[in-house]
Amino acid sequence: MALEKYNQKRDFTKTKEPKGIKKDSDGALRFVVQKHAASHLHYDFRLEIDGVLVSWAVPKGPSSDHEVKRLAMHVEDHPMDYIDFEGTIPEGEYGGGTVMVWDIGTYHAEGNDDISKDNLTMKKQLKQKSVKVVLNGSKLKGSYHLFSIGADGKQWLLMKGNDRFADGKPFNELSILTKRDFDAIAKGHHVWERTQKSATKKIVPVKKSERKEEEKMDHSAQADGAFSADDLAEAVKIKSFPDEWRPQLATLTDAAFDNEDWIFEHKYDGYRALVQIHNKKATLVSRNGLKFNSKYPEIARTLDGTPQDMILDGEIVVEDTKGKSNFQWLQQYGDYPEKGTLKFYAFDVLYFQGYDLRNLGLLLRKKILKAILPKAKNIIYSEHTTTLGTKAFEKAANEGGEGIIAKKSDSTYQTDKRSRDWLKVKTNKQQEMVIGGFTDPQGGRKGIGALLCGYYDGNDLVYAGKVGSGFTEPILEDLRRKLDRISRKSAPFSTVPKEKNAHWVSPKLIAQLKFSEFTDTGNMRHPVFLGLRADKDPKEIKMEQPLVVTEKATQKGSPVTAKSSAASGKSRVEFSNLDKIFWPKEKITKGDVIDYYRSVSEYILPYLKDRPQSLRRTPDGIKSEGFFQKDVAGKVPKWVKTRKIKSDSAEESVEWLICNDEETLLFMANWGCIELNPWSSRVGSLNNPDYIIFDLDPKGAPMKSIIRTAHKVKETLDLLKVPAYIKTSGGNGLHVFIPVLPKYTYEQTRQFSHLVSQMVHRDLPEITSLERLPAKRQGKVYLDFLQNGRGKTMASIYSLRPREGAGVSTPLDWEEVNDALDLKAFNIKTIPERLQQKGDLWAHFFDDAIDLKSILNKI
Sequence ranges of the domains in the chain: 3-187, 249-426, 429-540, 560-670, 691-856
- Is 369 in a helix, a strand, or coil? helix
d(CA 180, CA 144): 26
Confirm if 616 and 628 have CB atoms less than 8 A apart: yes
Confirm if 410 and 464 have CB atoms less than 8 A apart: no
Q: What is the DSSP letter of 325?
A: B
Confirm if 309 and 354 have CB atoms less than 8 A apart: yes
Q: How many CB atoms lie within 10 A of CB 341?
A: 17
d(CA 107, CA 651): 73
Q: Which of 838, 819, 595, 780 is nearest to 69 (CA)?
A: 819
691-856 CATH pick, 3.30.465.10, 3.90.920.10, 3.30.310.220, 3.40.50.1970: 3.90.920.10
Per CATH, the number for 560-670 is 3.90.920.10
Helix, strand, coil distribution of the chain in percent, nearest 5: 20, 30, 45
For the chain, give the longest Cα–Cα distance. 103
d(CA 750, CA 381): 57
Residue 204 has a pLDDT of 33
d(CA 385, CA 361): 16
Confirm if 157 and 818 have CB atoms less than 8 A apart: yes
Residue 550 has a pLDDT of 61
Handedness of CA 292, 297, 302, 304 (dihedral sign): positive
d(CA 93, CA 798): 43
Which backbone phi and psi does 805 adopt, to 5 degrees?
100, -15
Q: Which of 542, 527, 526, 440 is nearest to 483 (CA)?
A: 440
Q: Is 191 left (phi over 0), alpha (psi -120 to 50) or beta?
A: beta
d(CA 782, CA 787): 12
**CATH superfamily membership of 249-426:** DNA ligase/mRNA capping enzyme (3.30.470.30)
Residue 129 has a pLDDT of 87
Q: Do domains 560-670 and 691-856 have the same CATH topology?
A: yes
Handedness of CA 354, 356, 361, 367 (dihedral sign): positive
d(CA 315, CA 172): 35
Q: What is the DSSP letter of 750?
A: H
Q: What is the DSSP letter of 808?
A: B
Confirm if 778 and 699 have CB atoms less than 8 A apart: yes
Q: How many CB atoms lie within 10 A of CB 518?
A: 18
Classify residue 417 by burial, with Cβ atoms within 10 Å: 0-12, 13-18, 19+. Answer: middle
Q: How many CB atoms lie within 10 A of CB 749?
A: 25
Confirm if 102 and 35 have CB atoms less than 8 A apart: yes
d(CA 603, CA 811): 11
Own/partner pairs, 334-343, CB within 8 angstroms, 24+ separation:
334/295, 341/378, 342/296, 342/298, 342/299, 342/316, 342/317, 342/318, 342/378, 343/316, 343/317, 343/318, 343/319, 343/378, 343/379, 343/380
Count of CA atoms in the C-beta half-sphere (13 A) of 456: 11
Residue 406 has a pLDDT of 95
Confirm if 582 and 621 have CB atoms less than 8 A apart: yes
Q: Which of 798, 260, 825, 828 is nearest to 558 (CA)?
A: 260
Q: Which of 852, 685, 845 is nearest to 752 (CA)?
A: 852
**CATH superfamily membership of 429-540:** Nucleic acid-binding proteins (2.40.50.140)
What tens digit of pLDDT does each residue of 245-302 get? Answer: 999 999 888 788 888 889 999 999 889 999 999 999 999 999 888 888 888 999 999 9
* Reduced 3-state DSSP string for 389-407: HHHHHHHHHHCCCCEEEEE
Is 0.75 topped by the overall pTM? no
d(CA 245, CA 249): 13
d(CA 228, CA 594): 48
Residue 280 has a pLDDT of 93
* Positions of the chain with pLDDT under 50: 1, 189-225, 552-569
User: Dihedral through CA 828, CA 829, CA 831, CA 835, nearest 10?
Assistant: 140
- The string of DSSP letters for 584-629 reads TTTTEEHHHHHHHHHHTHHHHGGGTTT-EE-EEE-TTGGGS--EEE
What tens digit of pLDDT does each residue of 465-523 get? Answer: 899 888 888 889 999 999 999 999 999 999 999 888 899 999 999 999 887 667 656 67
Residue 850 has a pLDDT of 92
What is the chain's length?
859
Q: Which of 278, 375, 846, 816 is nearest to 606 (CA)?
A: 846
Residue 792 has a pLDDT of 86
Residue 209 has a pLDDT of 38
- Is 87 in a helix, a strand, or coil? strand
Residue 189 has a pLDDT of 39
Q: Which H or E run includes 124? A: helix 118-128
- Is 631 in a helix, a strand, or coil? coil
- The string of DSSP letters for 497-542 reads ---TT-EEE-S--EEEEEESEE-TTSPEES-EEEEEE-SS-GGG--
Distance, CA of 174 to chain centre: 28
**H helix intervals, 419-492:** 473-484
Which backbone phi and psi does 831 adopt, to 5 degrees?
-70, -40
Q: Which of 214, 230, 216, 242 is nearest to 174 (CA)?
A: 230
d(CA 579, CA 577): 5
- The string of DSSP letters for 41-79 reads EEEEEEEEETTEEEEEEETT---S-TT-EEEEEEEEEEE
d(CA 191, CA 186): 11
